[in-house]
Chain A
Amino acid sequence: AQSVTQLGSHVSVSEGALVLLRCNYSSSVPPYLFWYVQYPNQGLQLLLKYTTGATLVKGINGFEAEFKKSETSFHLTKPSAHMSDAAEYFCAVTLTYFGNEKLTFGTGTRLTIIP
């Protein structure tokens, strides 16, 4: 079975500082990996995804993530935090052989931006 672990349920960074949200996955077969963002009282929105090919993927709002198979990681980064980045972030995994998009989510990381 597949799973994801997000280290740190709460992360606080100063505006303009580097954002690093950690995600490690467990999968017996090549996974598809995702980061979703959830703003208060809103649904989840896809930030970026890794399926195949380039291991460094860029997403919306200046976020990027790198798939590292040797470390089973898919950490999310942004060079300079903005106040509007405050939200909850979820890492998710699905397995290619499912043939559908059934995602397994991590428990989430709440990002707070300090002015």
Chain B
Amino acid sequence: DTGVSQNPRHKITKRGQNVTFRCDPISEHNRLYWYRQTLGQGPEFLTYFQNEAQLEKSRLLSDRFSAERPKGSFSTLEIQRTEQGDSAMYLCASSFSGGLTGELFFGEGSRLTVL
């Protein structure tokens, strides 16, 4: 299966620790998105890359959050000094910019629990 892959699927950490999530998009997709989903809510946009360039960041992405896509392939989302409010599902999605089809392909998500 060559869908969007996210690791780890689950992460439990203590408040104040740093965590990093990885996303491997569909290989021919040049756009990559990070979303956050909390219980009872829809996914909320965090940030977006086209190739290696980070083109947009949401106000939700505080200074403790950083995302990279160094070679335009996989991406990492790091959260420093985690807080309980960071507990959520972090979703990665990818798409191809060849045409505005509007379709995002989502991974299964990385669930973060901050104790």
Chain A residues proximal to chain B, CB less than 8 Å: 9, 32, 34, 36, 41-46, 49, 51, 90, 92, 94, 96, 99-108
Contact = CB atoms under 8 A, between A and B. Distances in A.
A49 B99 CA distance: 15
The 5 closest A-B pairs by CB, nearest first: A105-B42, A43-B106, A44-B106, A32-B102, A43-B108
Contacts of A42: 108
B93 to A, nearest CB: 8
Given A44-B106, A45-B106, A106-B42, A99 B4 contact: no
Interface in B82-108: 91, 93, 95, 97, 100-104, 106-108
A70 B97 CA distance: 31
A99 B33 contact: no
A103 B31 contact: no
Contacts, number: 68
Given A51-B102, A102-B33, A102-B48, A9 B109 contact: no
B41 interface: yes
B65 interface: no
A111 to B, nearest CB: 15
Nearest to A33: B102
A92 to B, nearest CB: 8
Nearest to B104: A101
A44 B102 contact: no
Nearest to A88: B42
Contacts of B31: 100-101
